[in-house]
Structure 1
Amino acid sequence: MRQSLGRLLRGACLGFLVLAAAPGARATSLSGAYLAAMQADFRNDYVASAEYLDRALAIDPQNVGLMQNSIVAHVAAGDVAGATGIADRLAEAMPGNQIAVVVQVSDAIAKEDFAVARDLLDEAGPSVTPLLAGLLSGWVEVGMGDFSAAQERFDLLKGNAALEAYGQYHKALALALAGDFLSAATILANGEDGPLHVNLGALVAHAQVLVQIDRDGEALEILDEALAGGIPNAVLLDLRDRIAAGENVAFTRVTNARSGAAEALLTLADALSSSESERIGLMHAQLAAYVDPGAVEARLLAADILEREEQFDLASQALAGVPPESPWYMTAEIRRASTQSAAGDTEGGIATLTDLAAAYPEQIEVQSALGDALRVAERYGEAAEAYDAAIALVPDPQPVHWVLYYTRGISNERAGNWPAAEADFREALVLSPDQPMVLNYLGYSLVEQGRDLDEALDMIERAVAGQPDDGYITDSLGWVLYRMGRYEEAVPHMLRAVELTPDDPIINDHLGDVLWKVGRIREAEFQWRRALSFGPAPDLDMDRVRRKLEVGLDQVISEAGPGTDG
């Protein structure tokens, strides 16, 4: 049901669009500010776009296109307060403008001016998306203290499956907020296609409602089914553990009219966060976080979209607002560290994870994330120590833990401790015998050391069978055959590797060596030149490649001495 509702929602909500102002040529400064804003907008640099649009508006304050674009930029950047004044001006110039109304209503709800919000929605009429208008109208009535009127508003949402399902979901939330948990449970359990689990929040709400009426067992069944279905969600896990432990779990999915309105905005944000409409989804997520600063899922969704748009600083800001008491806190901090690193602040990301690991030393995912960050920063010895801490927290390793041994193995190998690395790789294969990445890494390492080539060949053949379209693994297969002197057999695999990963210098260098050995001299030289054009690479000796072009592979091998045929 979730997927079909999402499609319906996207079809119903794409009216929330951005108009472009015509640049004109009335003043060089106006044109310059506008063009700079459009360039920033093209890069999804919302902060810069908002700044330049505000400059343009200072020159042409009645330009409705500039106003609309400025509101979008401010809201997308998380500066809803900066958009409200512009929204007021746009509403005067273009009554019923959807962007202006939604920002004005969100601002009024955030300030708990529910009477103002109701008037704005009533005056806007059909200019606002029916689903959002209906949901916000219901929560405004809750804010006014009229739960009966709120139910009527939610019941008016009809016409298609999405409108009715989300209307009834929010009606259940309002009933639960009012203390009528039995009615809320009935609505959540009796959706047309089963329980009314329109999104993750509905799962949480349903479980919390059931606990209030002493139906803990049913709540656990709902959560266990979701977790077994592949939703390893921090909130669900935390809620399930607390219910199972017999804690007094309260209904907290919505705590007041503001959080209900934020849930409504999040409903739209989630449905509109796909690539074709993600800016609209981002705006709704930022508005939800503005209406209710405690709406953690809105912050996470905003951060997710901003990360995809490579706005890492803004994503970090969104994640920094997640409070430590939230079940999402560790996930948010791990993601924040990732965005810091992606933004170029590698040490800042490591510092964030180091602090998190000190605060939560018993959390495997935190220690593992720290190990990953240190490994990417090429601080391999420290990375191995972080993985040591993570593995120490696993008394009985399961197949899912193979990755801990694999990543520690990489760190040990890179730190120069091969015996420890080999032990880790082999333990990873005990846990997950057919894992292609482990088979390839261990097999290739054995080939490079010139030992156990038959075992290495078997490992790499299994890795290729598992991931036949991976150029690096296919390269390993060709390379082990080369090292075994089976040159003709190596050729098709090396050609396939270059086809799969055409711009990797090492793979091109390997293909050159293989082609040389089967007498295809001109082709070999072409591949070595390609390797030089794609280099340098950390594990490729560029001078050696140049020497092969000068005197040929056989002479280079002879100069290097016995045992150096690669």
Structure 2
Amino acid sequence: MPLTPRRAFHLASVLALALGAHGVWAGSALAQTPGPDRGGAGAYLAARSAMSQDDFPAAVEWFRAAIAADPANPDLLESAIAAELAMGHLDQAGAYAQAMEKAGHQSQITNLAYLADLAMKDDYRQMLTEQDKGRQIFPLLDLLIGAWAKVGEGKMSEASVTFDKMIAESGGPTAMWLYHKALALAQTGDFEGAQKLFSDPGAEGVSGLRRGIIAQVQVLSQLERGPEAVALIDKRFGLVLDPGMEDLRRRAAAGEPIPFDIARNAREGLAEAFFTWATLTTDENDLLSPLLSARIAAGLRPDHVEAQLMVARILDEMGQHDLAIEAFAAVPENDPAAISAVLGQANAAIQAKRPEQAVELLTALSKRHPADRTILASLGDALRAQEKCDLAILAYGDAIATLAEPGPGDWPLYYRRAGCAQVEGDWASAEKDLEFALTLAPDEPRLLNELGYSWVDRGENLDRALDMLRRAVRAAPDQGYILDSLAWAYFRLGQYDKAVVPQEAASLLMPVDPVVTDHLGDIYWMVGRKREAEYQWHRALSFSPTEKDAARIRLKLEKGLDAVMADEAKNGG
């Protein structure tokens, strides 16, 4: 069975080895290497801990300290290579790889850093020599690197043979490998040959990638086939074009010559190779592999904006929001992707619990692009995160005002504005927005849940409300908060027996949510399962509820739910 990149190249396993799980490659020289000496043990352990939390700045600092105490230890060096690459320090990673070479040790990640270092030096001859000596990463990537190194050596005929071997041995879709051969041909001026490859049925997937479209448009422009380039853009993107693609289409339509610059030389071809590899190895269970490849791509070609954005997004997904902000900020302000980069910075700032930073970024961006709906909606989100719902309502309103005719995909704007209106105590506006949003997306479970529960909570439109909540559960049976809404609606209506099943299901889906657990306790109490109710209330207290909720739970444990509800009714609560 052919090996695919996604199945065969996961640095998570390599890093498990590098960080101590030596059984992954039992029997290798590295697996038999003792750990660092005692003088650097504290730094080594701190580095391992930082790496396990994706805290790459701390990992780099601690690995450097550990290596200073034990500079020849290959276990330390290999682990440090991963940390340095994750930070984009290709030179330091290369230095560690050189040290590993002197110590006589190799591994996937060491070879990755070693060859990347040679690529940074444009030393293609040595790259090929190292491959001939057996320096390997993964078969398909090895072939791709080797092909581009041969291009760098001016050996296009040999490179073409290697590209063809890679295509033959891929064992799956060939689009990306045909794409690289086409880039290499275009780089040498063979635009006819490049377009022939782009037109190959096996290359159809290239048209699904933005860079693939750009490459084809540039090739067609060089062949003076502008109308075909325009048709290609229209087929792929329709009328919704980002600024860069809009400019590309304009130039193609005008017959302007568009230079081929996707990969102008071997180094840029290698950058594209590592970016391709990062794309192919993306896996939610292993974010480190694509991060390292994307870092190498961006290091080889700093103006590779797509690689830079991939780095930023992976770091954000890893929870390294400050590093993500830094990576997003590296995108030049005049680049067509600058808006996406600022939006990414803002989102990372919100995730880092700094909504004020997001508001500052988005306010400035909205002044430059006052009619951009995405920016205005994102500003609303940031203001909402800052608990400034009055201002968020205005931002969402500005976003809605840009709609010529609201469509099914626009319901989130009304949903978010409704949420802020409820916070501001303006139920009439919230209800209006929710009902209108449902005309756009009648089966959207979040809308059904929000309006249905709100009506139950207010004692209005009860039959319609319960129907909405049941529909929401049918549409999203694995969403605990929606099940909780249905159960709580039954509770508010005094239908306690009906509330048990959906509330228990919600609790299974959200086992450490204080509100869901508190609700389960209340329902158990009302159906006579009082000991179980008290147990659930104790659990709810352990899950850090709000101060107000915690005080009410303690009262229930002290007096019982009936007494608490009676007191609340007496006091108008």
Quote the offset at 1:526 in angstroms. Answer: 4.0
Instruction: Confirm whether residue 408 of structure 1 aligns to residue 417 of structure 2.
Output: yes
Q: Which residue of 1 aligns with 2:27?
A: none
Is the contact made by 1:17 and 1:280 (CA closer than 8 Å) also made in structure 2? no
One-letter identity of the residue aligned with 1:324 = E
Q: Which residue of 2 aligns with 1:128?
A: 136
Q: Aligned to 1:10, which of 6, 12, 20?
A: 6
In structure 2, do the counterparts of structure 1 residues 485 and 26 end up closer, same or farther at CA, with 3 Å as the change threshold?
closer
In structure 2, do the counterparts of structure 1 residues 502 and 90 end up closer, same or farther at CA, with 3 Å as the change threshold?
closer
Secondary structure of 1:412's match? helix
One-letter identity of the residue aligned with 1:558 = A
Per-residue CA shift, 1:454-480, capped at 9, x if unaligned?
Answer: 332232222222222322222222222
Q: Which residue of 2 aligns with 1:537?
A: 546
One-letter identity of the residue aligned with 2:102 = E
Q: Which residue of 1 aligns with 2:125?
A: 118
Q: Out of 373-382 and 84-93, give the one that drifted further.
A: 84-93
Quote the offset at 1:187 in angstroms. Answer: 0.8
Measure the CA separation in 1 of the matches of 2:521 and 2:108. 61
Quote the offset at 1:387 in angstroms. Answer: 0.9
In structure 2, do the counterparts of structure 1 residues 516 and 563 end up closer, same or farther at CA, with 3 Å as the change threshold?
farther
Q: Which residue of 1 aligns with 2:277?
A: 268
Instruction: Confirm whether residue 54 of structure 1 aligns to residue 54 of structure 2.
Output: no
Q: Aligned to 1:174, which of 184, 188, 201?
A: 184
Q: Aligned to 1:44, which of 33, 54, 65?
A: 54
In structure 2, do the counterparts of structure 1 residues 185 and 238 end up closer, same or farther at CA, with 3 Å as the change threshold?
same
Measure the CA separation in 2 of the matches of 1:482 and 1:17. 52
Quote the offset at 1:304 in angstroms. Answer: 2.9
Gaps of 5+ in 2: 19-29
Q: Aligned to 1:281, which of 280, 290, 293?
A: 290
Q: Out of 216-225 and 203-212, give the one that drifted further.
A: 216-225
Q: Which residue of 1 aligns with 2:93?
A: 83
One-letter identity of the residue aligned with 1:88 = Q
Secondary structure of 2:75's match? helix
Measure the CA separation in 2 of the matches of 1:485 and 1:556. 16
Measure the CA separation in 2 of the matches of 1:488 and 1:14. 50
Quote the offset at 1:410 in angstroms. Answer: 0.5
Quote the offset at 1:218 in angstroms. Answer: 4.2
Per-residue CA shift, 1:388-428, capped at 9, x if unaligned?
Answer: 12111112111100000000111111122222222211111
Q: Which residue of 1 aligns with 2:407?
A: 398
Is the contact made by 2:422 and 2:430 (CA closer than 8 Å) also made in structure 1? yes
In structure 2, do the counterparts of structure 1 residues 72 and 548 end up closer, same or farther at CA, with 3 Å as the change threshold?
closer
Measure the CA separation in 2 of the matches of 1:531 and 1:13. 43
Written as runs of structure 1 = structure 2, the 5 A alignment for 1:296-307 is 296-307=305-316
Measure the CA separation in 2 of the matches of 1:392 and 1:247. 36
Quote the offset at 1:74 in angstroms. Answer: 0.8
Secondary structure of 2:59's match? helix
Is the contact made by 1:412 and 1:421 (CA closer than 8 Å) also made in structure 2? yes
Measure the CA separation in 1 of the matches of 2:255 and 2:559. 76
One-letter identity of the residue aligned with 1:127 = R
Q: Aligned to 1:139, which of 145, 148, 152?
A: 148
Q: Out of 14-23 and 304-313, give the one that drifted further.
A: 14-23
Measure the CA separation in 2 of the matches of 1:124 and 1:561. 79
Is the contact made by 1:131 and 1:157 (CA closer than 8 Å) also made in structure 2? yes
Written as runs of structure 1 = structure 2, the 5 A alignment for 1:241-390 is 242=250, 246=254, 248=256, 249-275=258-284, 277-390=286-399
Per-residue CA shift, 1:245-287, capped at 9, x if unaligned?
Answer: 6474543322333221100111222222325554232222111
In structure 2, do the counterparts of structure 1 residues 142 and 57 end up closer, same or farther at CA, with 3 Å as the change threshold?
same
Q: Which residue of 2 aligns with 1:560?
A: 568
Gaps of 5+ in 1: none
Measure the CA separation in 2 of the matches of 1:292 and 1:265. 11
Q: Which residue of 1 aligns with 2:22?
A: none
Per-residue CA shift, 1:505-553, capped at 9, x if unaligned?
Answer: 3333334444444444444444444444434237x64433333444444
One-letter identity of the residue aligned with 2:45 = L
Quote the offset at 1:226 in angstroms. Answer: 4.4
In structure 2, do the counterparts of structure 1 residues 63 and 250 end up closer, same or farther at CA, with 3 Å as the change threshold?
same
In structure 2, do the counterparts of structure 1 residues 262 and 162 end up closer, same or farther at CA, with 3 Å as the change threshold?
farther
Is the contact made by 2:233 and 2:249 (CA closer than 8 Å) also made in structure 1? no
Measure the CA separation in 2 of the matches of 1:193 and 1:181. 16
Per-residue CA shift, 1:190-210, capped at 9, x if unaligned?
Answer: 144756558553343224323
Is the contact made by 1:528 and 1:549 (CA closer than 8 Å) also made in structure 2? yes
Quote the offset at 1:96 in angstroms. Answer: 6.7
One-letter identity of the residue aligned with 2:135 = S
Secondary structure of 1:251's match? coil
Is the contact made by 1:9 and 1:162 (CA closer than 8 Å) also made in structure 2? no
Is the contact made by 1:453 and 1:480 (CA closer than 8 Å) also made in structure 2? no
Is the contact made by 1:96 and 1:124 (CA closer than 8 Å) also made in structure 2? no
Measure the CA separation in 2 of the matches of 1:333 and 1:422. 33
In structure 2, do the counterparts of structure 1 residues 118 and 451 end up closer, same or farther at CA, with 3 Å as the change threshold?
same
One-letter identity of the residue aligned with 2:443 = D
Measure the CA separation in 2 of the matches of 1:100 and 1:219. 42
Measure the CA separation in 2 of the matches of 1:343 and 1:63. 36
Is the contact made by 2:445 and 2:473 (CA closer than 8 Å) also made in structure 1? yes
Per-residue CA shift, 1:188-243, capped at 9, x if unaligned?
Answer: 11144756558553343224323443445544554455458xxx995896477547
Written as runs of structure 1 = structure 2, the 5 A alignment for 1:399-478 is 399-478=408-487
In structure 2, do the counterparts of structure 1 residues 101 and 456 end up closer, same or farther at CA, with 3 Å as the change threshold?
closer
Q: Which residue of 1 aligns with 2:21?
A: none
Secondary structure of 1:326's match? coil
Instruction: Confirm whether residue 66 of structure 1 aligns to residue 95 of structure 2.
Output: no
* Aligned-residue identity in percent: 38
- Aligned-pair RMSD on alpha carbons? 3.5
Measure the CA separation in 2 of the matches of 1:158 and 1:452. 63
Is the contact made by 1:208 and 1:250 (CA closer than 8 Å) also made in structure 2? yes
Give TM-score, length-normalised by structure 1.
0.86
Measure the CA separation in 2 of the matches of 1:333 and 1:141. 38
Measure the CA separation in 2 of the matches of 1:363 and 1:141. 46
Is the contact made by 1:172 and 1:185 (CA closer than 8 Å) also made in structure 2? yes
One-letter identity of the residue aligned with 1:10 = R
Measure the CA separation in 1 of the matches of 2:543 and 2:413. 32
Per-residue CA shift, 1:336-363, capped at 9, x if unaligned?
Answer: 2222332343322332222222222221
Measure the CA separation in 2 of the matches of 1:105 and 1:454. 67
One-letter identity of the residue aligned with 2:6 = R
